[in-house]
């Protein structure tokens, strides 16, 4: 297996995070990758998370997690609300590819194996899978929102926003947008594109994202709008099947 290095501009926060992984894991550390809105733009300060993928040799154990928690707790992650370690990949295995959208990721430290980028075809498939699984996800989010109060309501708003972005991207792909283009869109671009065939939903998306991060007085309304928008994506995806 051949490693390929990627030249990137890395933030201070990302450098400190990667140093923590490298120090704790030692020779087992391969690389840390940042991806998503941190690269494409459209970060909502104090609301968006910093998505990370860790490449290592072997598995991340309990002792590793405890040591990393102590180190990373010292890192200031602003403007992000929190860090999200979405993937821990054992480089000795080959069963997790592809993972990243071209142009939407960067190596924070170390090197990365080649072959981890989506193609137009694999992103189209991912879009279809995302829409096919949306109704069960929508049901779970609705159940959760029905009784969400306090901190649980705040977490529910974050989760719905996290689910909404790939759902809208997937909808655009199924409506004919090139997958590699749609999956690079930020919130503003998604809103404008959705308005082209569902003006009400697209404008609502723009208004809703403008409310984030929602304070106590706006959080209820933001959550209701996010859940309504997810329902609108589901409805539009059903319309595709009948056209």
Name the band, by pLDDT with cuts 50, 70 and 90, for residue 44: confident
The residue among 99 and 156 whose pLDDT is bigger is: 156
pLDDT of residue 188: 94
Average pLDDT for the chain: 89
How far is residue 97 from each of residues 46, 116, 118, 123, 204, measured CA to CA in Å?
A: 31, 6, 8, 12, 35
Q: What is the spatial distance between Cα 159 and Cα 164, in angstroms, rounded to a whole number?
A: 9
Q: Beta strands 3-4 and 112-113: pairing type?
A: antiparallel
Q: Is the pLDDT of residue 1 over 70?
A: no
**Which residue's entry shows tokens 């992000």?**
80
**Which residue's entry shows tokens 């723009």?**
206
Judged by phi (left if over 0) then psi (alpha if -120 to 50, else beta), residue 233 lies in alpha
Locate 131 and state its tokens: 């829409």
Report DSSP state, residue 176.
Answer: T
The residue among 42 and 161 whose pLDDT is bigger is: 161
What percent of the chain stands above pLDDT 90? 67
Q: Is the pLDDT of residue 4 over 70?
A: no
Contact predicate 54/17, CB 8 Å: no
Backbone angles phi, psi at 123, to 5 degrees: -70, -35
> Per-residue pLDDT tens for 186-201?
999 999 999 999 999 9
> Per-residue pLDDT tens for 99-117?
899 999 988 888 876 788 9
> Per-residue pLDDT tens for 52-61?
999 999 999 9
Contact predicate 85/104, CB 8 Å: no
Report DSSP state, residue 79.
Answer: T
pLDDT of residue 37: 85
pLDDT of residue 8: 43
> Per-residue pLDDT tens for 17-32?
889 999 999 999 999 9
Contact predicate 35/51, CB 8 Å: yes
pLDDT of residue 126: 95
pLDDT of residue 3: 34
Instruction: For the chain, report the end-to-end CA distance as a whole number of angstroms.
Output: 46
Name the band, by pLDDT with cuts 50, 70 and 90, for residue 14: confident
Q: Is the pLDDT of residue 94 over 70?
A: no
List the one residue out of 159, 226, 236 whose CA is nearest residue 193.
236
């Amino acid at each position: 297996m051949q490693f390929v290095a990627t030249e990137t501009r890395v933030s201070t926060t990302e450098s400190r995070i990667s140093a923590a992984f490298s120090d704790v894991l030692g020779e087992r550390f391969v690389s840390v990758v940042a991806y998503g809105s941190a690269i494409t733009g459209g970060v909502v300060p104090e609301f968006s998370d910093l998505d990370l993928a860790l490449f290592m040799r072997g598995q991340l154990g309990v002792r590793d997690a405890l040591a990393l928690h102590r180190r990373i707790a010292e890192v200031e992650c602003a403007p992000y609300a929190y860090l999200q370690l979405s993937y821990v990949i054992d480089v000795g295995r080959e069963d997790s590819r592809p993972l990243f959208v071209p142009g939407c990721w960067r190596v924070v430290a170390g090197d990365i194996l080649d072959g981890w980028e989506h193609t137009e075809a694999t992103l189209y498939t991912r879009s279809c899978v995302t829409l096919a699984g949306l109704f069960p996800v929508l049901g779970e989010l609705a159940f959760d929102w029905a009784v969400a109060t306090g901190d649980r309501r705040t977490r529910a708003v974050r989760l719905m926003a996290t689910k909404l972005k790939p759902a809208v991207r997937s909808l655009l792909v199924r409506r004919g947008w090139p997958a590699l283009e749609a999956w690079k869109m930020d919130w503003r671009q998604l809103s404008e594109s959705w308005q082209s065939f569902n003006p009400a939903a697209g404008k609502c998306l723009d208004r809703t994202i403008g409310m984030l991060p929602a304070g106590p007085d706006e959080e209820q309304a933001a959550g209701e709008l996010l859940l309504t928008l997810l329902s609108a994506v589901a409805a539009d995806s059903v319309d595709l099947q009948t056209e």
